A and B are shown apart, each in its own frame.
Chain A
Amino acid sequence: MEPAIRLQPGKGRQVLICRGTGCESQKANLIFASLEKEMDKAGLNGSVELKFTGCHGLCQMGPTIMVMPAGTFYCNVTPDDVSEIVEMDLVKGERVERLLFLDPKTKDRVLDYRDMNFFKPQRRIVLRNCGFINPEAIDDYLAAGGYEGIKKALKMTQQEVIDEMKRSGLRGRGGGGFPTGMKWEFANRSVADQKYIICNADEGDPGAFMDRAVLEGDPHSVLEGMMIGGYTIGATKAYVYVRAEYPMAYERTVLAIDQARERGFLGKNIFGSNFDFDIKVKLGAGAFVCGEETALMGSIEGKRGMPMPRPPFPAVKGLFGKPTNINNVETFANIPVILTRGGDWFAEVGTEKSKGTKVFALAGKITNSGLVEIPMGTPLRTIVEDIGGGIPNKRKFKAAQTGGPSGGCLPFNHYDVPMDYENLTALGAIMGSGRLIITDENTCMVDMAKFFLTFTQKESCGKCVPCRLGTKNMLEILTDIANGKGTMAQLAQLTELAEDVKAGSLCGLGQTAPNPALSTVRHFREEYEAHILRHECPARVCVRLLKFEVNADKCTKCGTCYKACPAEAITWRKKEVATIDKEKCIACRSCILACRFHAID
């Protein structure tokens, strides 16, 4: 990956500190303040620029600091490390060895972030500025070539912009994968006195933080994408619908809008054209279903966020009954670059039908959790092994879960599958908005399906019967199976029901809610059968099926379980097999997680 922003001539070195939600929650604010003070004390204010930025991506190692142009990448920085960084690196020009990234495979310290396996396979288009510019300074965005895309678009006709978008092959990044150019064309063709653009930032899927990182790290790129969309479809008003759980993303978006308005980039006759455009921010109120476009519009109108049957599509009759175009945050962030560099340039990245890059939020049982952007078509193996640094604690990769409660899983035998829309759909998983949860052998797939169904059942808005009752019924079956009370007839019923809910539900929530169950049954049928026929949970997760007995054959008498038990239920002496007192055992599974040898049943 390369920063899109080059150091301006005359400017010396830069210290970039990540202040995204991940790093900020680990005291990045204190580190920033302390850096300011220490740099001032060392008399560096003229020569070294201190800047706080959005997410650097490697959240696992946060808080992180980058020193540019050398590309030095410091991990897990604490406020106590600041004086050393200032003295060693900024004054003397030497690196603080112990804070450099430690490659998990070679055990070497990496000097330049560009050589880190985490960054090497990445290609940053959406996150081009994220981590390099100050998200609260519009001048930083301008210096990185910001607002050039809209200026160029305003000199083109609406149809020319649509054609450029079609040439780029960009597809909706919210999960559906619908071609953006075509979507804009529909909205453009609708005739009305008022049209709307909406940016969907209601990233409600548990385990997703891509859109949040974009809004926190580079909010202007999203605003610019919305302006281009507004011009193209003929909309003068726009909304960004942000989740209430993301206060920082909300604040930075509001600030960016204020700055753009001050400069005259928003308002009447923007950039000297005769095009008027303004953006408002709406805060969600905690309803997952509002990520669905018709429900989202209901929510903006002040109603219960319940989906509406389509047609009419939003492009014809949307917000306040007017033609509306909704795109996701990541889609909008792509658009300014497509305009400045051209659709053909964009289309060179990716696979035949999936162009460009995709941002993934990588989390779960993985060494390097964080935010990554890869060209479409990158194999899962590269993401897990190279970027992610493999599975921690010497455990084995089991499956990658994509698409959250709407998606499915990719098991090990599809480890080399190129990740694009078509391949993932064919395997029963979906691209989704980009969460990628890695699981290892200690993750139970029945439990996973149950977890997602619990979520969708709770979040089902209740408007249509297949979703309201279907998700509840599926959850009941999964709970029975997880408790060892399931039957093979129920398993058959589960898949049958899943197909019905998929076919009969009104909106995307219900249509995709059965996917986690269907996909786990498809790829891990033997695990379901183990629960049903042998009353066993192979991953040792489903508590009702666990015996909490030590298997003397497998036990290496190491005592790890004894130390892990919070209830003092385990007795163990050196060179003896441990025993568990069932009276005292609280079934917390601490011993099972601690034991490397699978010796506890």
Chain B
Amino acid sequence: MREKLQEVFARHHGSRDALIPVLQEIQGVFGYLPPEAMDAAARFCRISPVEVYGVATFYAQFKFDPVGRNTIMVCQGTACHVMGGARILEEVMNQLKVQPSQTTEDGRFTLETVACIGACALAPAMFVNKDTHGRMKPEKIAEILNGAGN
């Protein structure tokens, strides 16, 4: 872990305004923010670990637990809401048996919601990793989930 962190730190100046990009890159490497990595980021940016935790917990992007092998993101933006996005989310929650920002027991899926991805013309939309599935219907979900990687 130390080596990977050093690689991230080498790309930044060790100052406060580097904190968020540093955390973003750490999450890019590990998929979440391990506690030791946050401590290291605090030393690197020369601020206290408490402040790093404060910043990290403020932003929705940062995760503190390892994520599943696939990320399902269901859009809950206005356009998707009007077109029935809540039903899509409900059905995904039913099928995966998890709440948003939880990971299935087998570690295959993490469910996330997003306030809008900007694909409003395709509403309601959901995303499996980087693939977009637009004009969703509840009955399409099982097939899409089955098609995701193990």
Residues of A at the B interface (CB closer than 8 Å) are 21-22, 25-26, 59-60, 62, 203-209, 212, 244-246, 282-288, 299-306, 361, 363-365, 369-370, 401, 404, 435, 437, 439, 443, 448, 451-452, 455, 459, 461, 566, 588-590, 593
| CB nearest neighbor in A for B117 | A245
* Structural contact, B139 and A283, CB atoms closer than 8 A: no
Prevailing SS type, chain B contact patch: helix
> Can you list, as one digit per residue, whether each of B60-102 has a CB less than 8 Å from chain A (1) or not (0)?
1110000000000000111111111001001000000000000
Closest to B75 in A: A206
Interface centre among B62, B81, B116, B118 (most CB of A within 10 A): B118
Check B132 for interface membership: any CB of A closer than 8 A: yes
**Would A593 and B84 be within 8 Å (CB), given that A26-B134, A283-B24 are in contact?**
yes
Please judge, given known A-B contacts A286-B61, A363-B79, A364-B82, whether A302 and B118 are in contact too, CB under 8 Å.
no
Asked whether any CB of chain A lies closer than 8 Å to the CB of B138, the reply is yes
Q: Which residues of B contact A305 (CB under 8 A)?
A: 58-59
Question: Is the pair B138, A437 in contact by a Cβ cutoff of 8 Å?
Answer: no
Decide: B55 and A304 in contact? CB cutoff 8 A.
Answer: yes
Q: Which residue of A lies closest to B90 (CB)?
A: A588
| B147 located at the interface, meaning its Cβ lies under 8 Å from any Cβ of chain A in the complex | no
Q: Which of A203, A299, A300 has the most CB of B within 10 A?
A: A299
Q: Say yes or no for B37: interface residue by CB 8 A criterion.
A: no
Inter-chain pairs besides A206-B79, A448-B82, 11 sampled, C-beta below 8 Å: A22-B122, A25-B119, A25-B122, A204-B116, A206-B80, A305-B59, A306-B58, A363-B79, A437-B82, A588-B87, A588-B138
**B129-144: which residues lie under 8 A (CB-CB) from chain A?**
131-132, 134, 138-139
Q: Are B21 and A212 in contact (CB under 8 A)?
A: no
Q: With A206-B78, A302-B16, A404-B78 in contact, is A285–B59 under 8 Å at CB?
A: yes
Q: Please judge, given known A-B contacts A302-B55, A303-B55, whether A566 and B138 are in contact too, CB under 8 Å.
A: yes
Complex CA gap A550/B24 in Å reads 53
Cross-chain contact of B16 among A212, A301, A435 (Cβ < 8 A): A301
Contact in complex: B115, A204 (CB < 8 Å): yes
Alpha-carbon distance A452/B77, docked complex (angstroms): 10
Q: Which of A22, A204, A206, A212 is packed against the most chain B CB atoms within 10 Å?
A: A206
Question: How far, in angstroms, from A400 to B7 measured CA to CA in the complex?
Answer: 50
Chain B residue with minimal CB distance to A440? B82
Does B54 have its Cβ within 8 Å of any Cβ on chain A?
yes
> In the bound complex, do residue B17 and residue A302 qualify as a contact, i.e. CB atoms below 8 Å apart?
yes
Indicate whether B148 reaches chain A with its CB closer than 8 angstroms. Answer: no
Chain B residues with Cβ below 8 Å from A209 are: 116, 118-120
By a CB distance below 8 angstroms, the chain B residues around A282 are 20-21
Q: Which of A62, A205, A365, A589 contacts B82 (CB 8 A)?
A: A365
Where the two chains meet, the residues of B that have a C-beta atom closer than 8 Å to any C-beta of A are: 15-21, 23-24, 45, 54-55, 58-62, 76-84, 87, 90, 114-123, 131-132, 134, 138-139
Measured between beta carbons, the chain A residues less than 8 angstroms from B58 are 287, 304-306, 461
Chain B residues near A448 (CB, 8 Å)?
82
Q: Which of A60, A245, A299, A455 contacts B118 (CB 8 A)?
A: A245
Q: For B17, B58, B84, B114, which residue has the most chain A Cβ atoms within 10 angstroms? A: B58
Q: For B134, list chain A residues within 8 Å (CB).
A: 25-26
- Are A302's CB and B19's CB within 8 A? yes
Give every chain B residue within 8 A of A299 (Cβ-Cβ).
20
Partner of A22, one of B21, B23, B84, B119: B119
What A residues does B21 contact at CB under 8 A? 282-283
> How far in angstroms is the closest Cβ of chain B from A79?
16
A364/B119 in contact, CB under 8 A: no
Q: Determine how close the nearest CB of chain B comes to the CB of A467; give it in whole angstroms.
A: 15
Are B17 and A300 touching (Cβ within 8 A)? Answer: yes
Asked whether, in the complex, the Cβ of A285 is within 8 Å of the Cβ of B115, the reply is no
* Bound-complex Cα distance A206 to B78 (A): 5
Q: What residues of chain A lie closer than 8 Å to B78, measured between beta carbons?
A: 205-207, 363-364, 401, 404, 435, 437, 451-452
Complex CA gap A209/B55 in Å reads 27
Partner among A22, A286, A363, A451 whose Cβ is within 8 Å of the Cβ of B59: A286
Query: Complex formed: what's the CA distance from A197 to B53 in Å?
Result: 29
Residues in B with CB closer than 8 Å to A204 are 115-116
Report 26 cross-chain contacts, Cβ distance below 8 Å, ordered by A residue.
A21-B117, A21-B118, A22-B118, A25-B132, A59-B119, A62-B121, A204-B115, A206-B80, A209-B118, A244-B24, A244-B61, A282-B21, A283-B20, A285-B24, A285-B60, A302-B55, A306-B58, A363-B120, A363-B121, A365-B83, A369-B123, A370-B121, A404-B78, A437-B78, A461-B58, A566-B138
